[in-house]
């Protein structure tokens, strides 16, 4: 997805205009000392045409959003120091929202006008404004009160760091009765505090199912065949601060001249993380607000919950520095919020999961890290997920309903420790991230309505239809596994498995432990996830297939601080283009690769700028046919003779053999295990297991 032209706002203050736009158009050559002392948080679009640029950006400790494409990432700058870090890295950027506080005030004014003019919105709930945390809790309680046969509100096992209970709702026919082995669909919202629409979309879906059950044939059928679990606000502490502070921003007319001023401190309106104030230590309940005052916008304190899950925890895209926005936490699942979701998923057969975020209009699927990366814990490339074809097909189908882009999560940028990477690789249940909305963390509320119900060519579809497609996938037995057979009426069946989940450099122990109750007729049908986890199944890995199909080399000499260009023409389809720059001394040279357009202009498609003594290499996948400009740059070499080699390769796909795992199925009567059976079952397989010994006295 290429970056679209971005509108400039007339509200750009004079200082920001002089400093930021001037720096952008001047190639960012102005020293960091020119950054103004008075600085309001702003949203900028950083140019990252290569994977190396994205990697560099992730080392700067800046507040990266989930809005990105193959050549850009959007970033929130909170302080002059943030701007100085970006300038010092030499990455180009455009200012998109020059004053997030003014934008917050503008949104509040739009929201107030909409609420004043609206009695009931088109949403299932009819709401006309963003919920507070108290609103969410009240709405979940009301759903249970209105339909106690259909809705069960529950508290997750761990309170937040600030001492709050975290609630969810379970929706299903006879929801308070025994678990009969139906497939489970999980919907999550607000891992990141400032992403208010993620909770709204999740909550509206819950209301939608309940309100339309019994009158809408499709919804009634889906709810009867499943259990739907919705946790609209995972990060309750962070959301409470963001939502409360975001409401404080106000625009008033003063001095009789119509000058707009901002009254009230927005504080944590753009907070991202949870309320971890001291790394690895709990703090007294109720101290989150005071602790967050030490960090501009509250973004420096806390753990990024979407980097704290166990799957490949601690790898690329997750910082080990507490003050960084993507801080991964002291250990996998170190936070009570992620422990809650871990236990929720580990105790049910979640066949499909959606975790909602903002913003970028994306449907992201595993994996979070690029397939050629090699976790030290495994020693082989990650490759694509075992179920890539099916994951892509469902992602594409959901994106066709809301107009989003369906892609791998790593195509946004490398990420480890995310929700669906752990849930998919640990359980086999399909998992996705929805990045809701095109351009803001919490836009005017009417945009939330459009995202849920669809607008324009997607009117009547939107995220509502995408979620229903996901729920249909959750109940489809061809997308998971089914066990059936005979067992004593009322017996408890248990499926359990304990295994090591790989982190980036080691592993943690995970346990999946689920139960169901056999019905009065002595028969059972249990919708379960496959016994073998995706992370240990056969893995497809791409490797170069021998000699290059086209190759050209050059030697040359380049003076210090100068560059030399050579051209290479890709005249055939191929899988990989490798460009290597070598030189005989341990000095420093850099490499840039450009594609030449028909008009002679150049578009950078790759670069390599390693540390002193490391040679430079650029690798391009499926390069377009045409002419490429290879630029050798003498950054700091006193003996500037070099060799430049461009090679075009076909790639071979090889398979790393995997393992076969088994569930342990037990039949329990009166709290005692009567029968134990190992069960191996694949995705799409229906297996009959009669538990005869369990019925004997």
Question: Which residues does the annotation mark as catalytic?
Answer: 435
In terms of phi and psi (left: phi > 0; alpha: psi -120 to 50; beta: otherwise), the region of 56 is: alpha
Inter-axis angle of helices 196-212 and 445-453, nearest 10: 50
Residue 332 near residue 509, CB atoms below 8 Å = no
What count of other Cβ atoms lies within 10 Å of the Cβ of residue 624? 11
Please tell me the distance from the alpha carbon of residue 154 to that of residue 230, in angstroms, as a whole number: 10
In the sheet that 362-365 helps form, which strands lie side by side, from edge to edge?
151-155, 167-171, 227-231, 184-188, 350-357, 430-435, 362-365, 405-408
Three-state DSSP state, 695: helix
The strand ranges marked E within 561-601 are 563-570, 576-582, 588-596
Non-local (6+) Cβ contacts of 336 within 8 A are 158, 159, 160, 161
Sorted by sequence, the CB contacts under 8 Å of residue 465 that are 6+ apart come out as: 401, 402, 454
* C-alpha triplet 243, 249, 250: angle, nearest 5°: 135
Cβ atoms of 501 and 507 within 8 Å: the answer is: yes
Is the dihedral angle over the CA atoms 124, 128, 129, 135 positive or is it negative?
negative
Query: Which of 375, 383, 389 is closest to 417 using CA atoms?
Result: 375
Is the backbone peptide bond immediately before 367 cis, with ω within 30 degrees of 0? yes
Cα atoms in the 13 Å half-sphere on the side-chain side of 317: 28
* Helices (runs of H) and strands (runs of E) counted in the chain: 15, 31
Quickly tell me which residue has 């005979």 as its tokens: 486
Rounded Cα distance, 665 and 587, in Å: 62
In the three-class reduction of DSSP (H, G, I as helix; E, B as strand; rest coil), residue 502 is classed as: strand
Query: Which DSSP state fits 546?
Result: S
* Residue 378 DSSP label: T
- Rounded CA-CA distance 486/72 in Å is 57
Token look-up 């929201």 returns 111
| Alpha-carbon gap, residue 686 to 695, rounded angstroms | 22
Kindly give the residue spans of alpha helices, DSSP state H, lying in 528-633: none
């Amino acid at each position: 997805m290429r970056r679209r032209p971005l509108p400039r706002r007339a509200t750009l203050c004079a200082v920001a205009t002089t400093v930021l736009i001037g720096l952008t158009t001047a190639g960012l050559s102005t020293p960091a000392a020119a950054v103004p002392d008075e600085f309001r948080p702003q949203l900028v679009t950083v140019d990252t045409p290569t994977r190396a640029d994205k990697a560099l950006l992730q080392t700067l400790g800046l507040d990266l959003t989930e809005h990105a494409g193959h050549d850009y990432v959007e970033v929130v700058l909170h302080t002059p120091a943030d701007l100085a870090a970006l300038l010092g890295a030499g990455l180009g950027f455009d200012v998109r929202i020059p004053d997030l506080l003014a934008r917050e005030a503008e949104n509040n004014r739009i929201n107030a006008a909409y609420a004043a003019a609206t009695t009931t919105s088109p949403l299932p709930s009819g709401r006309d404004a963003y919920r507070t945390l108290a609103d969410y809790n009240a709405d979940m309680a009301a759903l249970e009160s209105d339909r106690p046969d259909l809705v069960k509100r529950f508290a997750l096992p761990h309170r937040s760091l600030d001492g709050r209970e975290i609630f969810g709702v379970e929706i299903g026919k006879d929801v308070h009765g025994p678990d009969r082995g139906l497939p489970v669909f999980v919907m999550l919202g607000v891992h990141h505090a400032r992403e208010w629409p993620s909770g709204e979309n999740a909550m509206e879906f819950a209301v939608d199912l309940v309100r339309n059950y019994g009158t809408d044939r499709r919804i009634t059928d889906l709810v009867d065949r499943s259990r739907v679990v919705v946790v609209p606000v995972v990060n309750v502490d962070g959301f409470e601060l963001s939502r409360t502070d975001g409401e404080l921003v106000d625009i008033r007319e003063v001095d009789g001249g119509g000058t707009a001023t901002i009254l009230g401190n927005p504080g944590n309106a753009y907070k991202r993380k949870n309320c971890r104030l001291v790394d690895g230590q709990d703090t007294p309940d109720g101290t989150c607000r005071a602790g967050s005052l030490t960090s501009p916008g509250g973004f420096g304190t806390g753990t990024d919950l979407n980097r704290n899950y166990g799957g490949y925890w601690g790898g690329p895209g997750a910082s080990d520095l507490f003050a960084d926005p993507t801080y991964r936490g002291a250990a996998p699942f170190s936070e009570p919020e992620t422990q809650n979701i871990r236990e929720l998923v580990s105790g049910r057969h979640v066949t499909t999961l959606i975790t909602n975020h903002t913003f970028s209009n994306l449907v992201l699927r595993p994996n979070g890290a690029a397939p050629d990366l090699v976790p030290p814990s495994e020693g082989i490339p990650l490759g694509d997920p075992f179920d890539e074809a099916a994951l892509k097909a469902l992602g594409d189908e959901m994106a066709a309903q809301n107009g989003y882009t369906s892609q791998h999560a790593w195509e946004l940028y490398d990420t480890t420790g995310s929700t669906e990477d752990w849930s998919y690789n640990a359980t086999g249940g399909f998992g996705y991230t929805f990045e809701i909305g095109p351009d803001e963390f919490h836009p005017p509320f009417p945009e939330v309505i459009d995202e849920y119900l669809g607008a324009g060519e997607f009117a009547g579809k939107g995220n509502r239809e995408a979620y229903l497609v996901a729920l249909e996938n959750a109940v489809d037995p061809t997308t998971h596994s089914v066990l059936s057979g005979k067992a004593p009426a009322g017996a408890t069946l248990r499926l359990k498995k304990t295994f090591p989940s790989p982190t980036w450099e080691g592993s943690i122990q995970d346990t999946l432990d689920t139960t169901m109750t056999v019905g009065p007729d002595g028969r059972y049908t249990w919708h379960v996830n496959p016994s073998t986890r995706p992370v240990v199944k056969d893995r497809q890995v791409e490797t170069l297939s021998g000699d290059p199909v086209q190759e050209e080399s050059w030697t040359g000499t380049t003076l210090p601080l100068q560059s030399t260009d050579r051209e290479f023409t890709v005249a055939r389809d191929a899988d990989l283009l490798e460009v290597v720059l070598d030189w005989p001394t341990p000095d420093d040279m850099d490499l840039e690769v450009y594609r030449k357009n028909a008009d002679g202009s150049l578009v950078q498609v790759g670069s390599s700028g390693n540390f002193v003594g490391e040679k430079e290499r650029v690798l391009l996948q499926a390069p377009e046919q045409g002419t490429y400009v290879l630029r050798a740059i003498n950054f700091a070499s006193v003996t500037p003779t070099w060799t430049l080699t461009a090679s075009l390769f076909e790639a071979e796909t090889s398979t790393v053999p995997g393992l076969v795992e088994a569930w342990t199925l037990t039949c329990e009567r009166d709290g005692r295990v009567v029968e134990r059976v190992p069960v191996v079952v694949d995705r799409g397989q229906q297996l009959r297991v009669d538990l005869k010994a369990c019925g004997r006295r």
